[in-house]
């Protein structure tokens, strides 16, 4: 646990079950607290710029406005003009707080630079994740606080940029929240505090799942360039999405890392593409992955050295059994977690009874509070480590090799095309384990 959620949690706690029961109330008061602080200092606007005006970008911008009546949107940036229009339409219910003048709306591959140049309290980065490291580095170089959607990169080159920028965030005293919303959800926060307090003993293993049917796709349009087709259908191109193990399953992998208190040391994986095989609709990504992540060994309560691991499974195939869950195994009990639900079995059995919060809004409450109160909040390294864990799993599945963290992190792989314009770009081939280059 890092950042304001952790601090609010600790501040609320005086120990034991009573204090834990007080957590939702304490966190619920964050908004009121912010309002009081603003009133004491004289209310001030919280100005927010948005880069990437798609579904989640519009959602996150709305969440920022829901987090505080003092928040308003001051700049929009997107590669495509129709997405700027969609942002205006989609956020119209917020009235003047979501009206951005045309002079502060930017399009094209350099739209992010226009948004960053508009004075604001923080920028929301919600493009496909392939662009995140460059956009984030530019925002932090310009002294902007940021909300960064997950995942935060698609390759080790991008991850190294994120870790370097995380250090710059600290050096400059900026604030960054990440879109790993489980880290801001009360049910997860309380369960994880109980796990850290020993409710299941030493954490030894985890099983994490995101198994579901297919997501949206955009059919190839022969009138549009290769790059526009790929960006509009970005989920299915690894240079943009990282593949679904990175784009979606990072949420569950993040929980394994959170419970283990670290990232894995190595992994081996399988994966492939059985159902989504039309390259015009589904690019070149896989539709299933399973990874065995090995974490650093621990000396257990009896002094024996024991190995720790997480099994990760992600599938996007229609007609198959759905499961989105994290199960954490300790020496004394088990925790089962999913959005809105948490329970622990073992000698200290517990079930989360609520009330729960909206973690998408809480992310912005926590970030806005850190900005207003000048308290530290930097979730960059944590989300970068979880993104890297997912990338390492993909590298193992694509190649068929066993992959060590240190090798994966230092790998020169950089999936971004050398020059970006809406022109030709051949689609990458489907990775073949045993033969594949590292993508
Ligand atoms: N936390 C969550 O639960 C959650 C849910 C959905 C998506 N996401 C994440 O949010 C991000 C965006 O996903 P989405 O569903 O909104 O996708 P989307 O396709 O709806 O939106 C992406 C937007 O970015 C724009 N864009 C693409 N390249 C750009 C560039 N170089 N510069 C400026 N704009 C650019 C696109 O035109 C589009 O409007 C992804 O990282 C995704 O993984 C997170």
Distance, in Å, from the CA atom of 77 to the CA atom of 116, rounded to the nearest integer, reads: 9
Q: Do residues 56 and 167 both lie within one domain?
A: yes
pLDDT top residue among 67 and 8: 67
Q: Which residue's CA is the nearest one to ligand 1's atom 7?
A: 56
Q: How confident is the model at residue 37 (pLDDT cuts 50, 70, 90)?
A: very low
Per the structure block, which two tokens stand in for 183?
A: 């880290």
For residues 439 and 283, what is the distance between their CA atoms, to the nearest angstrom? 14
Q: What is the pLDDT of residue 438?
A: 64
Q: Nearest 5 degrees, angle CA 190-CA 192-CA 193?
A: 65
By C-alpha distance, which of 257, 201, 196, 259 is closest to 13? 196
Q: Is the pLDDT of residue 105 over 70?
A: yes
How many domains are contained in the chain?
2
State residue 36's pLDDT score. Answer: 38
pLDDT in tens, 256-293: 999 999 999 999 999 999 999 999 999 999 999 999 99
Residue nearest to atom 39 of ligand 1 (CA): 54
Is the CB of residue 235 below 6 angstroms from any atom belonging to ligand 1? Answer: no
Task: Tell me if 209 is assigned to some domain.
Answer: yes
Say whether pLDDT at 151 is over 50: yes
Is residue 167 a part of any domain in this protein? yes
Q: What is the pLDDT of residue 300?
A: 77
192, part of any domain = no
> CATH no. for residue 225?
3.30.360.10
* CB of 148 closer than 8 Å to CB of 52: no
pLDDT on residue 301: 74
Q: What is the pLDDT of residue 34?
A: 41
Asked whether residue 424 is domain-assigned, the answer is no
Structure tokens belonging to residue 219: 């059919």
Axis-axis angle for helices 55-67, 81-90 (nearest 10): 40
Sorting pLDDT into bands at 50, 70 and 90, what band is 326? very high
**Ligand 1 close to Cβ of residue 127 (< 6 A):** yes
Give pTM, 2 decimals: 0.91
Q: Are residues 170 and 223 in the same domain?
A: no
Residue 434 belongs to a domain: no
CATH code of residue 54:
3.40.50.720
Taking the C-alpha atoms of residue 413 and residue 280, their distance in angstroms, rounded to an integer, is: 25
3-state secondary structure of 165: helix
Tokens of 357: 């919060």
Give the residue whose CA is nearest to atom 21 of ligand 1. Answer: 54
Look up the domain containing 251 and give its range.
200-353+387-410
- For residue 17, pLDDT beyond 90: no
Cβ–ligand 1 distance for 366 under 6 Å, the answer no
Beta strands, E only, 386-425: 403-404
Assign 303 a pLDDT band (cuts: 50, 70, 90).
confident
Query: Is ligand 1 within 6 A of the CB of residue 163?
Result: no
Same domain, 80 and 143: yes
Instruction: Identify the CA nearest to 152 among candidates 430, 426, 385, 352.
Output: 385
Cβ–ligand 1 distance for 209 under 6 Å, the answer: no
- Strand ranges (E), 53-155: 71-78, 105-107, 122-125, 145-148
Please write down the long-range contacts of 332-340, taking CB distance under 8 Å and 24 or more positions apart. Answer: 332/198, 332/199, 332/200, 332/201, 333/199, 333/200, 333/201, 334/200, 335/191, 335/194, 335/195, 335/199, 335/200, 335/259, 337/182, 337/187, 337/188, 337/191, 337/255, 339/182, 339/185, 339/187, 340/185, 340/187
**294 contacts: CB under 8 Å, gap ≥ 6:** 264, 265, 266, 267, 307, 308, 309
| Whether residue 206 is found in the same domain as residue 349 | yes
- Cα 120 to ligand 1 centroid, rounded to whole Å: 21
Same domain flag for 87 and 226: no
Residue 431 resides in a domain: no
Alpha carbons 307 and 299: distance in angstroms, whole number: 9
Q: How do residues 404-435 score in pLDDT, each as one tens digit?
A: 999 999 999 999 999 899 999 999 999 999 99
Q: Would you say the CB of residue 185 lies under 6 angstroms from ligand 1?
A: no
Q: For residue range 336-358, what is the model confidence (pLDDT) as tens digits?
A: 999 999 999 998 999 999 999 99
Taking the C-alpha atoms of residue 119 and residue 109, their distance in angstroms, rounded to an integer, is 20
Q: How far apart are CA 286 and CA 7, in angstroms?
A: 40
In Å, what is the CA distance from 145 to each residue of 119, 239, 345? 11, 26, 40
pLDDT tens column, 76-99? 999 999 999 999 999 999 999 999
Same domain, 172 and 231: no
Residue 297 in this model has a pLDDT that exceeds 70: yes
Q: Which ligand 1 atom is the nearest neighbour of the CA of 129?
A: 41
Shared domain for 240 and 285, answered yes or no, is: yes
Indicate the burial class of 145 (C-beta count within 10 angstroms; 0-12, 13-18, 19 or more).
buried
Looking at per-residue pLDDT, the higher value among 57 and 43 belongs to 57
190-244 residue pLDDT tens: 999 999 999 999 999 999 999 999 999 999 999 999 999 999 999 999 999 999 9
Question: Looking at the structure, do residues 255 and 132 belong to the same domain, yes or no?
Answer: no
Determine the Cα–Cα distance for residues 44 and 50; give it in Å rounded to an integer.
Answer: 19
Domain match, 326 and 274 both: yes
Rounded Cα gap, residues 242 and 239, in angstroms: 6
72 CB under 6 A from ligand 1? no
C-alpha to C-alpha distances, 273 to 20, 236, 394, nearest whole angstrom: 44, 12, 13
CB atoms within 10 A of CB 140: 24
Determine whether the shortest distance from the Cβ of 49 to ligand 1 is under 6 A.
no
Report the nearest-CA residue for atom 1 of ligand 1.
179
Upper half-sphere CA count for residue 282 (Cβ side, 13 Å): 16
Strand partners, 306: 298
In a domain, 75, yes or no: yes
Neighbours of 11 (CB within 10 A): 10
**Mind listing the pLDDT tens digit for each residue in 354-374?**
999 999 999 999 999 999 999
In the chain, % of residues over pLDDT 70: 90
Contact 88, 19 (CB under 8 A): no
Shared domain check, 158 and 212: no
Nearest to 314 by CA among 256, 360, 266, 355: 256
């Amino acid at each position: 646990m890092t950042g304001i959620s952790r601090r609010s949690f600790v501040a609320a706690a005086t120990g034991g079950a009573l204090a834990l029961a007080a957590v939702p109330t304490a966190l619920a008061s964050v908004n009121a607290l912010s309002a009081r602080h603003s009133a004491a200092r004289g209310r001030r606007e919280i100005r927010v710029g948005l880069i990437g005006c798609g579904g989640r970008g519009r959602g996150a911008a709305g969440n920022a406005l829901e987090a505080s009546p003092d928040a308003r949107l001051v700049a929009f940036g997107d590669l495509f003009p129709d997405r700027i229009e969609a942002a205006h339409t989609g956020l119209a219910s917020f009235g003047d707080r979501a009206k951005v003048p045309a002079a502060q709306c930017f399009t094209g591959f350099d739209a992010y630079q226009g948004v960053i140049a508009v004075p604001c309290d923080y920028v929301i980065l919600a493009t496909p994740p392939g662009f995140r490291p460059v956009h984030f580095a530019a925002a932090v170089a310009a002294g902007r606080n940021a909300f960064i959607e997950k995942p935060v990169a698609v390759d080790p080159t991008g991850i190294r940029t994120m870790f370097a920028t995380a250090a710059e965030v600290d050096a400059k005293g900026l604030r960054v929240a990440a879109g790993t919303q489980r880290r801001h959800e009360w049910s997860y926060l309380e369960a994880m505090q109980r796990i850290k307090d020993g409710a299941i003993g030493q954490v030894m293993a985890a099983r994490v799942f995101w198994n579901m049917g297919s997501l949206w796709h955009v059919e190839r349009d022969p009138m549009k360039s290769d790059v526009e087709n790929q960006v509009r259908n970005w989920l299915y191109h690894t240079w943009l999405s990282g593949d679904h193990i990175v784009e979606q399953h990072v949420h569950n992998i993040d929980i394994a890392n959170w419970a283990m208190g670290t990232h894995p040391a190595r992994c081996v994986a399988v994966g492939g593409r059985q159902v989504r095989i039309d390259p015009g609709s589904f690019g070149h990504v896989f539709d299933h992955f399973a990874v065995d992540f090995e974490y650093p060994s621990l000396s257990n309560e009896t002094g024996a050295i024991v190995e720790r691991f997480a099994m990760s499974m992600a599938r996007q195939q229609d007609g198959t059994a759905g499961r989105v869950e994290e199960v954490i195994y300790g020496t004394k009990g088990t925790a089962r977690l999913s959005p809105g639900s948490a329970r622990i079995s073992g000698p200290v059995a517990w079930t989360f009874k609520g009330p729960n919060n909206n973690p998408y809004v809480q992310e912005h409450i926590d970030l806005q509070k850190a900005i207003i109160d000048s308290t530290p909040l930097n979730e960059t390294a944590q989300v970068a480590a979880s993104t890297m864990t997912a990338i390492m799993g993909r590298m193992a599945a694509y190649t068929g090799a066993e992959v060590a963290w240190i090798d994966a992190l230092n790998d020169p792989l950089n999936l971004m095309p050398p020059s970006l314009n809406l022109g030709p770009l051949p689609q990458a081939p489907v990775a073949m384990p045993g033969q594949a280059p590292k993508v």
